[in-house]
Chains A and B, each alone.
Chain A
Amino acid sequence: MVSEEDVREAIAAHLSDAEVNVTDISNGCSTSYRPGSLPTNRCGTGFEVQVVAQAFEGKRLLERHKLVNAALKDIMPNIHALSITRAWTPQQAAAA
């Protein structure tokens, strides 16, 4: 079972001086999902991730997400859903 801390550590280990926030959203999706209804069954481990890192400088959003995915490569097989809701440079974070 992957924990929030596992995800946070993996990202921090690969993106130096990254500021990482991880939230477990394991209930956010369901195999029995139907539009308009609330998801009920867990279908796996899910996390929402917010990362602020200098490594994102000069990179498009797709490339930034690929950096985060790469950092989580080893534990990704045990993660059902990963939502990267923030991939900012420190400058962007300061301006927000």
Chain B
Amino acid sequence: APTDVGLPPEFKTAIDAFVTENPVVAFIKGTKEMPQCGFSNTVVQILNTTGVPYTTVNILENDMLRSGMKAYSSWPTFPQIYIGGEFFGGCDIMIEAYTKGELNEALEAALNA
């Protein structure tokens, strides 16, 4: 479970709603058109390959979002990918899941839910 220490309740509520309303969300450095880091770019390229609609959030634009998402996800780095309202992992997990076909399974499950 995410650690709630130092995480404002309204922040948690807002992110809960956001990742539920948007089945595939990547919190990245930069945008999907212009990723600002190689790791974020890798995730964008993988998601582009799958052909599913997805949303990106640029964590470089907001320091509170940047620190808040680390606490919300219990994950210290970016990118952070949410699928079906649940934290799926970072860049390395995306690469492995994509390679093994597990990413497509997770995406299909989330988009058909």
A binds B: yes
Partner of A62, one of B35, B36, B77, B87: B87
Chain A-chain B contacts (Cβ-Cβ < 8 Å), number = 51
> Could you tell me the distance between the alpha carbons of A84 and B96 in the complex, rounded to whole angstroms?
11
Q: Does A66 contact B (CB under 8 A)?
A: yes
Q: Does A28 contact B (CB under 8 A)?
A: yes
Partner of B37, one of A33, A65, A84: A33
State how many residues of chain B have any CB contact under 8 Å with chain A: 22
B110 to chain A, nearest CB (A): 15
Partner of B91, one of A35, A69, A83: A83
Supposing A76-B76, A81-B77 touch, asked if A65 and B90 sit within 8 A by C-beta, the answer is: yes
Interface size of A as a range: 20 to 34
Asked if A33 and B36 make an inter-chain contact with CB atoms under 8 angstroms apart, the answer reads yes
Interface residues of A in 22-41 (CB under 8 A from B): 28-31, 33-35, 39
- Seen from chain B, the residues whose Cβ lies within 8 Å of a Cβ on chain A are 30, 34-39, 41, 45, 74-77, 87-93, 96-97
